[in-house]
Structure 1
Amino acid sequence: MLLSIIIPVYLVEETLQRCVKSILQQTFTDWELILVDDGSPDGCPALCDEYCQQDARIKVIHQANGGLSAARNTGLLQAQGSYVTFVDSDDYVRKDTYQQVMQQLVEQPEIDIIEYPITLHTGNKQREKILSFPAKRYSNMLTYWFESQAYLHTYACNKVYKRKLFNQVRYPVNKVFEDVYTLPLLLRQSKVVATTDKGMYFYVDNPQGITATAGGEQLKDLLHAHLAVLQDSQLTEHEGFATYYEHILNIQMDVCEMTGAKPTLPSFSFRGQQDIPFKTRLSSLIGIQRLCQLNQFIHKVYRRSR
């Protein structure tokens, strides 16, 4: 078995058939599909059982509701493939994707993780966009993190991983933005990461999904995930660090504004450096707490003027 495909299932009667069909239609056939029914209270459990009866490559696991991370972790425990990937049950995969991606992995077995293109906000004419990548290999994980700005696309689903990377790694239960927590842990165990311009994952907007409904407390989880990444002392030495820091700074400002909490992001000095983003430079001059206060003041004035 070459590839294990894990699909958590919960309240997705309307989209599950499209999702599973996109796997069944793959031109690549050496896979197993693990459907993890996460205690779905609708007709999804019965649908999963039907799919299992139709194709011997499909496995179904029924469990009490534990959330997305718990469902993925259950799938990982059952996976038999040399490689593993994830698909969200709202989404679907172009039929030639795994054929092209797995061919590269077979030809270049030293690759630990491969990332392929993803269409974001599929079906939303105002927001739909394709996130594509060059055909490239990275033997330095920090270079991958900064050069490709991987911190902006930590999605679990547009990547294929060597299954052994998960021997000591699991998705964090009861956390949102679980992908941001997990990808850095996988990168620490990886020697080669590749990006490819082949294949396509279609991410479909879910109005009830966490990215659409996240409030201050959920954004705290996102902030904490990035703060964990900052524990790596080598980060600050990379030329892309200032831009990454501004990304975290924006999250910190949102958390402060939404929750009233004091900032927890540590300060770094960027004085004397070139090409420093404006907010990053400003934070080193006036401090993060004052920057958060300034951000709230500007937003308050803007709302009053509308």
Structure 2
Amino acid sequence: MKNFTDKNLKKIINQKLKNINLFFDNFLLTNLIFILYKTSRYSKYYYHTIFHKNKNGNAQPIFKKDIPLLPEKNHNYLNDEYVELSIIVPAYNVEKYIDQCIASISSQNLTFTYEIIVVEDCSTDNTKNICNQIKLKYDNIKIIYHEKNSGVSEARNTALNNIKGRFITFVDSDDLICNNILNQAMNLIRINKNIDVVGFKLYTFETDYDINNIKNNPDKIQSSIITGLDNIYKIAEGYPWGKIYHRRMFDNIRFPRGLCWEDGIILKIVMRRCTVYADLGVVGYLYRKTPNSITHSIKAKNLGYDHFYMINFCINEMKRLNLNIDTIFYKKIVEEATVFFKFKNFLFA
């Protein structure tokens, strides 16, 4: 296996060099780069083998997590349906953004019954005090305070357990909602009673100046109704936000605790229950790009291990929920793994 990997790695390096036309004959340069890379790779491997061992003498990976990969057997909603939409907002150290986030939701003059559930996850900045002010400022908002910091997955789970909505959407507390998207989505749901999930596009921005070109309140949305798992997967993104879900999509399903890549359950588990997907085809979610995002932290935190944990978690969940583990499931695993490889090693970029 090692010889096979090394042989193909050398081919990749040589192809990279040919693509950028560094030399007419790349043989010597290819071998030099390969030797340097191989030396680095195996030196790290043997370092961790020698210095990171558990009680049984086995090597320990960096940032290895001693966490259960199987959650509780059953997850239940604590409340029945009382409103049409529950808007879930996990909040941690977002003193600069949380008020703007909630304002972007409330300012849409929503024409249906709704609730906003903010889960304050023991922030170390002024987020908690701002949440207290927000509670007095807006209607239909509920603040849940965690007793200890538990991460975004547990914050979403806490909110999911407490929802009163027939439908659910997620909004991260440093992001924004635009284009009257919630009204547009809920109006479509009222017309098409069999819709499981409504999706809309996202726009990535770094400053408020970047979002000035987003048209507000589009006059008409050309929605598409999509059926069939293959077709849905071609359109739907793997993020929890940018969608409105019927609550049955999360029946007995929750986000994994203590892991990054928690979004992996959306396409691999949650969306497998979706039989009718509506695509609004317009931007409705504004994603704020920050230095703390996962894609900026993969290399620094060695989050590739979390991805492997997530694969195992999803397989166990599929078995628990009696969902079919098929080619589509494994295809999604490979597609998501390419993100890790891209940031982990320039050879796969």
Task: Give 5+ residue unaligned stretches, structure 2.
Answer: 1-82, 215-220, 319-323
Q: Does 1:41 align with 2:124?
A: yes
1:232 aligns with 2:325: yes
Distance across 2 between alignment mates of 1:236 and 1:7: 28
Q: Which has the larger radius of gyration?
A: 2
How is 1:134-283 mapped onto 2 (pairs within 5 angstroms)? Answer: 135-145=223-233, 147-148=234-235, 150=236, 153-198=237-282, 200-215=284-299, 217-222=302-307, 225=310, 228=314, 232-235=325-328, 247-248=335-336, 250-251=338-339, 253-254=341-342, 257=345
Q: Identity of aligned pairs, percent?
A: 26
Give the one of 80, 84, 90 matched to 1:2: 84
Deviation of 1:198 after TM superposition, in Å, equals 4.1
3-state SS in 2 of match to 1:117: strand
3-state SS, counterpart of residue 35 of structure 1: strand
Aligned partner of 1:81 in structure 2 is 165
CA RMSD of aligned residues (A): 3.3
Does the CA-based 8 Å contact 2:268-2:329 persist in structure 1? no
How much has 1:186 moved relative to structure 2?
A: 1.0
Alpha-carbon offset, residue 36 of structure 1 = 0.5
1:13 aligned to 2:95?
Answer: yes
Q: Gapped runs of 5+ residues in structure 1?
A: 259-294, 300-306
Instruction: Name 2:33's counterpart in structure 1.
Output: none
Q: 1:249 to 1:56 in 2, by over 3 A?
A: closer
| Counterparts in 2 of 1:220 and 1:59: CA distance versus 1, 3 Å | same
Residue 134 to residue 214, structure 1, CA distance change in 2 (3 Å): farther
Mapped to 1, the partners of 2:209 and 2:298 lie a distance apart of 22
Output the TM-score relative to the length of structure 1: 0.71
The separation in 1 between residues aligned to 2:142 and 2:166, in whole angstroms, is 17
User: In the aligned structure 2, how far is the partner of 1:51 from the partner of 1:27?
Assistant: 17
**Deviation of residue 112 (structure 1)?**
0.7
1:111–1:194 contact (8 Å) kept in structure 2: yes
SS state at 2:115 partner = strand
| Distance apart, 1:78 and its partner CA | 1.2
Amino acid at match of 1:46: N
Partners of 2:263 and 2:222 lie apart in 1 by 22
Alignment partner of 1:28 out of 88, 106, 110:
110
Given the superposition, is the C-alpha separation of residues 253 and 19 from structure 1 closer, same or farther in structure 2, using an over 3 Å criterion? closer
Report what 2:6 is aligned to: none
Query: Once the two structures are superposed, what CA deviation does each residue of 1:203-235 show, in whole Å capped at 9, x if it has no partner?
Result: 001112222212273133335546757983243
Deviations 1:26-46 (A, max 9, x none): 131421111100011222112
Query: If the length of structure 2 is used for normalisation, what is the TM-score?
Result: 0.63
Number of equivalent positions? 250
Task: Give SS of 2:204's match.
Answer: strand
Give the match's secondary structure for 1:42: coil
